Chains A and B, each alone.
Chain A
Amino acid sequence: MLSVRDLTVSLGPETAPVDIVAGVSFELGKGEILGLVGESGCGKSMTSLAVMGLLPQPGPRIRAGRVLLEGCDVTQLQPWQRVVAGHGRMAMIFQEPMTSLNPVRRIGDQIAEAVRVHDRLSGPPAIDRARELLEQVRMPDPAMQLSAYPHQLSGGQRQRVMIAIALACRPQVLIADEPTTALDVTIQVQVLGLLRELCNRLDMAMLFITHDMGVIAQLADRVSVMYAGRIVETAGVEALFGRPRHHYTRGLMDCMPSRNSGARRLPTIAGQPPAPGTVGAGCVFASRCAAVRETCRTAAPPRAEVSQGHDVLCAFPLDGGEPR
């Protein structure tokens, strides 16, 4: 469905680029939910914006790599260019529901605008479709809300509107960049439930970005772990949580509250991720890895398939059988 290959997003001049996303690859199958996790600033949003063709300008740019949607190359294409080229069926929802809707335009207009582009409807049928979409996202009293302004809705309702706008594109791939981080816990659960249901019902694939391992565990089919602009481990959700093979993934797991019983303080991974542009030739995690060896610092670790569908970017991966 969606295939991203060696995507590299860079800042700075052509002659001395600083890579904030470095050689990211992943595959997203039909109806599949892929979780992308990593600490703040590791490049998750940049990856998703690059895939969508929404990188802010002027600013970061795609320096290398390819994005294939249903086998067609859509690298560097902005959404409207994709629509023109007939590859419009990829949509995105964002982290900030409070600021992601235009404050001076009615909800109905904002949804209908997307309907017009993707369904080539206009006038009342477009508004009807907008109401139908609001029903699909379980918006209470959809007919009324069409004429509401964003400030009249709660955060959760606004995120539902954002989902409705995304669904107007009839997406086969939905990118969700921390869609629930800004919401209260109960609302968060509802929105996650809605997203999963929509994926099942519409047979839609989703790239779900978060830094919450708990959410990933519930929602995703497969998981990619990102660190300092690189994907360091990819595996099915059971394999990843059951037998993490990368030292960083293991560290993340140890930080999860459910895995640490009782009164003990949550452990954290000591140190800071390297700033973009400061990574040398070796492993990006070397400065924080407990199992670091001399070769880690000098040579880039290989990407190894430790088992069927389980990739690790580490020279000395954890032994899968090791007791946790």
Chain B
Amino acid sequence: MWSYALKRAGTTAVTLLAASIIIFAFIHIVPGDPIYVLLGDTATPDQIDALRHQLGLDQPIILQYLTWIGHVLEGNLGRSIFFQAPVLSVIADGAETSALLATMTMIWVTLIGVPIGMIAAVRHGTWLDQGLSGAAMLMASIPTFWVGLYLILIFAAWLGWFPSSGYPSIFEGGLVNLRYLVLPSLALAAPNAALILRLTRASMLDVSREDYVRTARAKGIRPWQVVVRHILRNALLAVVSAFGFTFAALLSEAVVTETVFALPGIGRLVVQSILRRDYPVIQGVILVIVVVYLLINLIVDLSYRLLDPRVELQ
């Protein structure tokens, strides 16, 4: 287990390193010299040279990369041009919203996707199964922002049950502020719950064809006991590994959802920074999201192995 964990962590580190090169290169291939972006077109050549030197842009590219990565490891992601503040603190401001949104979404995804997927699998081949599978496919085909807009219309504008936009921190207004995240998380959960539903169903059907399920039936235990004790646990093992992918999809779709609901998260930060051409922030957010994504996948992968006793001895 430990040697596997180390190996897996090593691969993650290598991937991260390669990704960091791409992210570093990003700022160098964006149109226009970042110097002009910083100083505007009215700068004198002297000012330009001075800033170029100050930022280390006159150094060889390799050295620039090493300096950059060194700063990143120290937690210094550069300064936001728009906010005139460290990128890391700008990102940290949005982290609470995004983390809570993602968590709440994952809770919906699990609560909706797994049980309904189970029902579809148990009723395999019936009208109920076909209806649920079809509904899941339909849900996966709906744009999240569209669902979001109609959720706002119905539950915020017409019924007034939930606020339509924004999110004041729970640290200031208490846990009741979570109600601001109910509609966005539901919109974000819809397509992902659909994917988890289909995956749960498919892996339960796969497992139910295994020989050991036949052995369990042969013992004379009841069908629901066969499902709970033999099919479900083994099938969920496969579902767990999909949670990492779901989380990744979620990080990206949150970009749109946060925009629709005007949530102060890092997703909306990306979109606004793109429109403002605030390149250091874009770069920083991409880096942070990639790190989070890779770490979550690492954790999911390792916990998957912990749940499966077969790897104990290896």
Contacts and interface: CB of A to CB of B under 8 A. Distances in A.
Given A103-B309, A104-B308, A80 B220 contact: yes
A186 interface: no
Contacts of A117: 219-221
Contact of A169 (B209, B220, B312): B220
Interface in A145-194: 149, 151-152, 162, 165-166, 168-169
B310 A94 contact: no
A168 B229 CA distance: 18
Interface in B54-91: none
B210 A99 contact: yes
Interface in A45-83: 52, 54, 56, 58, 78-80, 82-83
B14 to A, nearest CB: 30
Nearest to B223: A80
B312 A94 contact: no
B220 A79 contact: yes
A151 B310 contact: yes
A317 B219 CA distance: 42
A114 B218 CA distance: 9
A199 interface: no
What interface size band does chain B fall in?
20 to 34
What interface size band does chain A fall in?
20 to 34
Contacts of A169: 219-220
Given A80-B223, A99-B211, A104-B237, A52 B310 contact: no
A118 B220 contact: yes
A96 B211 contact: yes
A54 B307 CA distance: 30
A99 B217 contact: no
Contacts of B233: 104-105
Max count, chain A CB within 10 A of own CB: residue among B217, B220, B234:
B220
A101 B209 contact: no
B201 interface: no
Contacts of A82: 220
Max count, chain A CB within 10 A of own CB: residue among B209, B215, B310, B313:
B215
B174 interface: no
B230 interface: yes
Interface in A16-57: 52, 54, 56
B21 to A, nearest CB: 40
A226 B152 CA distance: 69
A41 B144 CA distance: 52
A102 interface: yes
B225 to A, nearest CB: 8
B248 to A, nearest CB: 27
Given A102-B234, A104-B234, A165 B211 contact: no
B228 to A, nearest CB: 12
A311 interface: no
B217 A79 contact: yes
Contacts of B214: 54, 56, 94, 100
B125 interface: yes
A54 B212 CA distance: 12
Contacts of A166: 218
Contacts of A96: 211
A120 to B, nearest CB: 12
Contacts of A149: 309-310, 312
Contacts of B307: 104
A149 B209 CA distance: 21
A105 B221 CA distance: 16
A113 B219 contact: yes
A80 B211 contact: no
Contacts of B209: 56
Interface in B195-251: 209-212, 214-223, 229-230, 233-234, 237
A88 interface: yes
B220 A102 contact: no
A78 B210 CA distance: 17
A95 to B, nearest CB: 9
A92 interface: yes
Contact of A52 (B125, B216, B218, B312): B218
B201 to A, nearest CB: 16
A225 interface: no
Contact of B221 (A58, A94, A113, A162): A113
Contacts of A165: 215, 219
B219 A114 contact: yes
Nearest to A96: B211
Given A99-B210, A149-B312, A162 B215 contact: yes
B212 A103 contact: yes
Contacts of A162: 215
A91 interface: yes
Interface of B: 125, 209-212, 214-223, 229-230, 233-234, 237, 307-310, 312-313
13 contacts: A80-B217, A99-B211, A99-B212, A100-B211, A100-B214, A101-B212, A102-B216, A103-B212, A103-B308, A104-B234, A104-B310, A149-B310, A151-B309
Shortest 7 CB-CB contacts between residues of A and residues of B: A83-B220, A114-B219, A79-B220, A99-B211, A102-B212, A100-B211, A149-B309
